[in-house]
Structure 1
């Protein structure tokens, strides 16, 4: 059907909608998260437990996140793109690598590292995931690499001039992480790696990829440093995520990728060696939900004081106060569990069960906390402009990665009972075929 010219003109105009109003104009009653609220969640004065150096670093990281990241985080989260322009100032904080020691790395304590990571997650979970993945890559090289590898890779990684990723998870094996299918076959002068990895953060732009593969001779899991643009290596972005959208998670395909002998990590010879790195990672991931919950509480308290309904601020209503109190209580308990986890690690007394219980329980409480925040903001609770919707979505992948809630519960269950229950009863190899 051919429309009259008058209607054609109107149709063409309707195809070009006006840009949305700035949220401060569209909803002037509450301040958006681009101006991040002050930190008000430390109800039990956790800061009193920190050293002057830890307090100074905490405020330094907080200021950076509020000033440099908060104004742009909703835009980049919506676009699912990474803001590379923040890297120089992020590098200036001197925390890349967290507790990695030497070769330009900060060598922070696990407690200081956790506090810094929580402060990043308070404003944006994606940024904390980016830095955590990068830092785990650094820690693996520092703890399992040769002296030559440390000198070659760590200084640049510590300055964020090059970026690392850490590739363990595969399409067929997530929770069953030790069942790696990617293979490394010995050839003259090096190794040939074939396989596939999935959900690998930073992988689409990483310069250094720490790849875990099964040695075809020993059948043990080994570690390899694969450089960006190696022939046979392909990393593509996973699209359509609902959480940590700024993080560039990728699928990695390795087809006949040659890795020279000097890039095999000599100290990574079994899954037990991998677990040493995972122990640190699990502690750090446990602090991400603490930071996320802090940011959600901070935003909710300010919002409820500013937003008026029925002639009074929302903060004046009993149901809202009850929810705020529950959120605040969760944060105090989560923080103290996370704190104790760090101290057990420092003393060499942290067990896999400790780490797993910390990660699983903290993420469970954080999931409840952000859900309450989502309720408190009503309709604005589904907008990234007011932070809570974004944090609500970001909490979901964190609830799952570094061991799902269920798997981490079973790790603790195995430790306290002496019985492993990871495989379904009566499931023989034949019955699974």
Structure 2
């Protein structure tokens, strides 16, 4: 039978409105109906109010206020009707990141900066009194904050290289140094600044008001990834904060590492959601575009690329749901979370590149619904643990020998 006379079949893999194309049903299996309903509501808001803004946001390299205005009322950190333990689970937060990243990676990164890094820093690092005061405001976005750890000269080596200092004088701390690549800092109320105590050499954390004297923020321009996400270079020059601004349960790098350990899975979920968004953008193009008198999706090489993206996505979903299930059982492992981040980010890069190939020349303009994912895959590949660092963590666990210099 010639290609022109072949009968078309109804697609077996159709996008689920909430979780995308998931042929093995990994995502929906792990949540209660109430949690699925909360994420369905999120998906509705993203499609209606957020996604239509993002191409223009990419062009202007700005994050519209309307994005948070649309998301904050959903109370996604403690959604109505969802059991509190499930709402706090790694599985629910992971699938929330997946749905957000499937729409746009900058939106997912911005939301996760508040719900993941900043909220976890306060919840795990603050005293009971600090948590009771701040956590409700963090959940509602009434108090916005960022995680200010990375420095201009220290990223992967931040554990030993952190250079920002904090010196205590009575009940006042004086902070000096600089932070870089701090996403969302220009819109934050507070900056969770990690600094080395000059008295004991240990790392502490301070909630510094963005408007405090001595704080200067400069937006980093010229980015080719995560363009709507505002990353800042922060200079801290003799910034004075009271002892009450110090998060009381962070007294060493060991405490910082304990906060960060479960959060690498968040990035693996974002890398997986990125692949879902790229696949659906490429699939829409393949179904709508005609070449040589035939739908683009009818060509063998096109179908092969789509199949590879789906394979990467499905494998990534299997890995991140398995990781989150283990973490929700209390099994936290640097090696496991690093493996998931390493693998999903690597394959997100491949999936986004294949999607861009499928869209051809249109794949380099934002209107294609693929270009944003293609560029953002480069950022996800590097942030929250580079490929090299995560690989060495996994290699150390496999061999029992550290290859870190």
- Structure 1 SS opposite 2:185: coil
Q: Which residue of 1 aligns with 2:126?
A: 145
CA distance in 1, matches of 2:275, 2:304: 16
Matched, 1:84 2:69: no
Alignment partner of 1:367 out of 340, 349, 354: 349
Matches within 5 A, 1:40-55: 40-46=20-26, 47-55=28-36
Alignment partner of 1:392 out of 374, 386, 396: 374
Matched, 1:58 2:30: no
CA distance in 2, matches of 1:217, 1:141: 23
Q: Which residue of 2 aligns with 1:215?
A: 197
CA distance in 2, matches of 1:264, 1:88: 30
Matches within 5 A, 1:2-401: 40-46=20-26, 47-96=28-77, 107-135=87-115, 136-178=117-159, 179-401=161-383
Aligned-pair CA distance for 1:87: 1.7
Aligned-pair CA distance for 1:336: 0.5
CA distance in 2, matches of 1:37, 1:50: 15
Aligned-pair CA distance for 1:114: 0.4
- Deviation by residue 1:221-264 (Cα, 9 ceiling, x = unmatched): 11111012111011110000001111110001001001100011
8 Å contact 1:289–1:362 — kept in the other structure? Answer: yes
Q: Which residue of 2 aligns with 1:13?
A: none
Aligned-pair CA distance for 1:49: 3.9
- Structure 1: which 5+ runs fail to align? 1-35, 424-433
CA distance in 1, matches of 2:336, 2:85: 27
8 Å contact 1:97–1:138 — kept in the other structure? Answer: no
CA distance in 2, matches of 1:301, 1:48: 25
- Deviation by residue 1:186-207 (Cα, 9 ceiling, x = unmatched): 1111211000100001111210
- Structure 2 SS opposite 1:41: coil
Matched, 1:407 2:389: yes
- Structure 2: which 5+ runs fail to align? 1-14
CA distance in 2, matches of 1:45, 1:237: 41
8 Å contact 1:141–1:150 — kept in the other structure? Answer: yes
CA distance in 2, matches of 1:105, 1:158: 15
Distance 1:318 1:371, change over 3 A: same
- Structure 2 SS opposite 1:376: helix
User: TM-score if structure 2 supplies the norm length?
Assistant: 0.91
- Structure 1 SS opposite 2:187: coil
Aligned-pair CA distance for 1:283: 0.7
- Structure 1 SS opposite 2:188: coil
8 Å contact 2:16–2:22 — kept in the other structure? Answer: no
Aligned-pair CA distance for 1:343: 1.2
Range moving further from structure 2, 264-273 or 79-88: 79-88
How many positions carry a matched residue from both structures?
A: 384
Distance 1:105 1:52, change over 3 A: closer
Range moving further from structure 2, 135-144 or 399-408: 135-144
Q: Which residue of 2 aligns with 1:22?
A: none
Aligned-pair CA distance for 1:48: 3.4
- Deviation by residue 1:354-384 (Cα, 9 ceiling, x = unmatched): 0101000110111100000000000110011
Higher Cα radius of gyration: 1
8 Å contact 2:50–2:70 — kept in the other structure? Answer: no
Q: Which residue of 2 aligns with 1:6?
A: none
Aligned-pair CA distance for 1:275: 1.2
CA distance in 1, matches of 2:87, 2:35: 13
Root-mean-square deviation (CA), in Å?
A: 1.9
Q: Which residue of 1 aligns with 2:4?
A: none
- Point out 4+ residue stretches in structure 1 off by more than 3 angstroms: 36-40, 104-107
